[in-house]
Structure 1
């Protein structure tokens, strides 16, 4: 059987497509996580017992006895870490390639179609990553305490943190950047995976991306705003 030898250009194109697919799939995994995390945050409105039980359930009994007690959270963390690493790697490589080929016909033909969100995806991703690291150090590792003592129950950590206006403001800015990233990311990911097949599909994908971004922003901000104004105590 004759083998086909790919040219350097063909290999580069295939590699770029593979990286875009990797970026799309890992991005969608993180969007699903954000929606689930938003839902979990809303349990604060059910009271301290319900919220704390939910937080401890995630780290203990979830999927038991399918997996040993306490294993799920580590499997989940591994999957999310792999998704983030894959997403960052793909973004870095594609960004470097885009810079090197900016003067090409492809780049000139598509640059005018870029939205503000698309042009700011790089620095938005950096801000997102910095905020995520702080968030993990704060609520997971509890190495950065914002008004609560290390070892506090999840409900108390939330109330102590978001009772401070400047933390709510910083959180709002971070969530806004996340949602800006998500709005473009959902559109780009679904387009990469072949869903953008017609003008009507394009309009649907654009609307879906906006709906997800707005739902995430409102859903994540309801809880800290409610705490700040004393609606949740």
Structure 2
């Protein structure tokens, strides 16, 4: 027997492992965007309701944990999920390119590949840029000149009263919807969950999140909330 024992590659080093990583991190992020949208629906119940919800998020976990510890813990989980999702997507793209150096010759196959992979890549970039702007705008107030710390309702109104910002939010959420639809469809396949329900779920989930998120800037622009 040879003294040198060859090491098996880790699961993540394989394409299957990366697909699992993308699927699990995608599920975490999907859960977040849905809960985030549902929480923000409190804007329709007025400033007191939305601000109380925001304060509850800071207090959640008390008194077992210090203030905001659980909130920061969830943020770190989300950040890790984002990093894993992006890294796995990039690594899979590189693996696929090495495995298939020759481009699609069939026009039909090329269209399918373009829709499934290239659209996901660009919508993913748009979503990342949108998240950065969202944090600068409504979390830290860097890009919101009328930002008041702790007054989530006021900050939301002040942000979406600017037409270019509201339009950007609408377009970015449409890109998010495309990404969610294809992501949901792909992750079920990666996890081995097959069924005719996959398409319906992917469409329904993306539609619910997008309609909810898009309603906020439109409600401000048309004076439904002020």
Aligning the two structures, in what range does the TM-score lie when normalised by the shorter sequence?
0.7 to 0.9
Is the contact made by 2:148 and 2:154 (CA closer than 8 Å) also made in structure 1? no
Cα shift at 1:124: 1.3
CA distance in 2 between partners of 1:107 and 1:22 (Å): 31
User: How far does residue 152 in structure 1 lie from its aligned partner after superposition?
Assistant: 5.8
Q: Deviations over 1:43-98 (max 9, x none)?
A: 00010011011111112x21223432221111011000100011111011111111
**Structure 2 contact 124–179 (Cα < 8 Å) conserved:** yes
Aligned match of 1:36: 35
Contact 1:19 1:94 in 2 (8 A): yes
Q: Distance between the aligned counterparts of 1:111 and 1:188, measured in 2?
A: 18
Give 5+ residue unaligned stretches, structure 2: none
Cα shift readout 1:9-60 (whole Å, capped 9, x = no counterpart): x98997110010000100110000000000011100010011011111112x
Structure 1 residue runs without a partner (length 5+): none
Deviation of the 1:118 alpha carbon: 3.6
Cross-structure match for 2:153: 155
Does the 8 Å contact 1:143/1:150 carry over to 2? no
Residue 214 of structure 2 is aligned with which of 210, 221, 225? 221
Q: How many residues align?
A: 224
- Give the counterpart of 2:80 among 79, 82, 87: 82
Alignment TM-score, normalising by the size of structure 2: 0.88
Q: Report matched runs for 1:1-233 at 5 Å.
A: 15-59=14-58, 61-103=59-101, 113-114=112-113, 116-145=115-144, 147-151=145-149, 153-196=151-194, 201=195, 203-233=196-226
Whole-angstrom distance in 1 between the partners of 2:211 and 2:160: 16
| Shift in CA distance, 13/69, structure 1 to aligned 2, threshold 3 Å | closer
Change in CA separation of 1:43 and 1:11 when aligned onto 2, cut-off 3 Å? closer
Look up the SS of the partner of 1:120 in the other structure. helix
Q: Structure 1 residues 177 and 189 mapped into 2: Cα distance closer, same or farther (>3 Å)?
A: same
**Structure 1 residue 6, shift from structure 2 partner:** 8.1
Distance (whole Å) between structure 1 residues aligned to residue 133 and residue 25 of structure 2: 21
Aligned Cα root-mean-square deviation (Å):
3.0
Q: What CA distance in whole angstroms lies between the structure 1 residues aligned with 2:28 and 2:185?
A: 14
Q: 1:21 to 1:230 in 2, by over 3 A?
A: same
Normalising by structure 1, report the TM-score. Answer: 0.85
